[in-house]
Amino acid sequence: MAFPYRWQTRLERWKKSLRGLAGGGDGAPRPKLCPACGSLVGISATRCHECGTSLRFSLAAITKKIPVVSNLESPVSTVFLGLNFLLFAVQLMFTIQAGAAGGLSILWRLDGISSFRLGACFGESVFAEHQWWRLITAMFLHGGLIHIGFNMMNLMQFGPALEELYGSPRFLFLYTVTGAVGFFFSALGGHLSLGASGALLGIIGAILAITTKRGGAHMKDLRTRLISSLIFLFALGIFGGIGIDNRAHAGGLAAGFLLGKLFVDRQPMNNAEKLRAQILGWLAGLAVAASFVLMLLHFRDPIS
């Protein structure tokens, strides 16, 4: 009995795949495409003649094959937006389990013990117990619905623009480093702290640095508005009495401004610049992943 047509085509594709795995086919070598830039390269080439990417191993090629990177315009900003809301949902779940989610309290307060276990920054844990991973995990946690709403609104306002300018790898590095530096200064204060605002101030610091390197009325106006907003934010932290962590904000802002001065205000152009950017991005991505692994490993540790 004959197979239906769609099954015949499937079988034919499977046969071709198996022949390829077994080394079958006509055996004739074929030209290849560069996995990074898509240029047609020679049969025996080991490096792309257009962008210089190695055809055997390339961080750029590996990065480009990650679906979320190739399918989104601002992948880091989008992924971090989703990760922040995912962890907020986890925090909320633990807060409900602890019976601390009554009324409108989730607008500004979640369970502190759960937040600590999930990686909130605490000075004694960082310096005395060497839980350095908290400097990174803390930037993905929030203290309430208002806190995460305000921070994520600012992330999507400033993040995609800077990511487009720097490229996703360097933006990932800047976000991670400035957030960690912010929480390092926060940990010196010895109190429990969490939130994305240190990294967000790092983004604003980088944008401020860009405005100092570019002339024109638009850059001057942007710089003036950013400085005015920062003065208001820090004043609110000093006089508002609402738990704003000025240490984290100042550390993130300073680190972002420094990186903004060091980074070139454009996407990487040549192969050497692309490689450096990819290395920075992978180091930051691995640091974030390792921090969450360590958080999970220490999640059940007793709290003294």
Burial of 4 (0-12, 13-18, 19+ CB in 10 A): exposed
Whether residues 200 and 223 share a domain: the answer is yes
In a domain? residue 18 = no
Which tokens hold the place of 119? 């990686």
* Tally of domains in the chain: 2
Q: What is the pLDDT along the chain (304 residues), one digit of tens a residue?
A: 555 555 556 566 656 555 544 444 455 566 667 666 667 777 677 777 666 666 665 555 655 555 555 556 788 999 999 999 999 999 999 998 887 777 777 888 888 899 999 999 999 999 999 999 999 999 999 999 999 999 999 999 999 999 999 999 999 999 999 999 999 999 998 888 999 999 999 999 999 999 998 888 888 898 999 999 899 888 888 876 667 889 999 999 999 999 999 999 998 888 888 889 999 999 999 999 999 999 999 988 888 6
Whether residues 56 and 95 share a domain: the answer is no
The candidate with the shortest Cα–Cα distance to 143, out of 106, 187, 197, 191, is 106
Quick one: which H or E segment has residue 235? helix 217-239
Q: Which domain holds residue 61?
A: 34-65
In a domain? residue 176 = yes
Whether residues 106 and 192 share a domain: the answer is yes
Give, in order, the Cα–Cα distances in Å from 205 to each of 100, 196, 226: 36, 14, 9
Does the pTM of the predicted model rise above 0.85? no
Catalytic residues: 197, 249
Please give the Cα distance from 77 to 86 (Å, whole number).
14
Whether residues 57 and 98 share a domain: the answer is no
Whether residues 109 and 42 share a domain: the answer is no
Whether residues 61 and 81 share a domain: the answer is no
In a domain? residue 70 = no
Whose structure tokens read 């590095």?
Answer: 173
Whether residues 57 and 147 share a domain: the answer is no
In a domain? residue 2 = no
Quick one: which H or E segment has residue 33? strand 32-33
Whether residues 288 and 248 share a domain: the answer is yes
Please give the Cα distance from 38 to 161 (Å, whole number).
26
CA angle 140, 159, 165 (to 5 degrees): 140
Whether residues 147 and 198 share a domain: the answer is yes
Whether residues 50 and 88 share a domain: the answer is no
Quick one: which H or E segment has residue 117? helix 112-117
In a domain? residue 304 = no
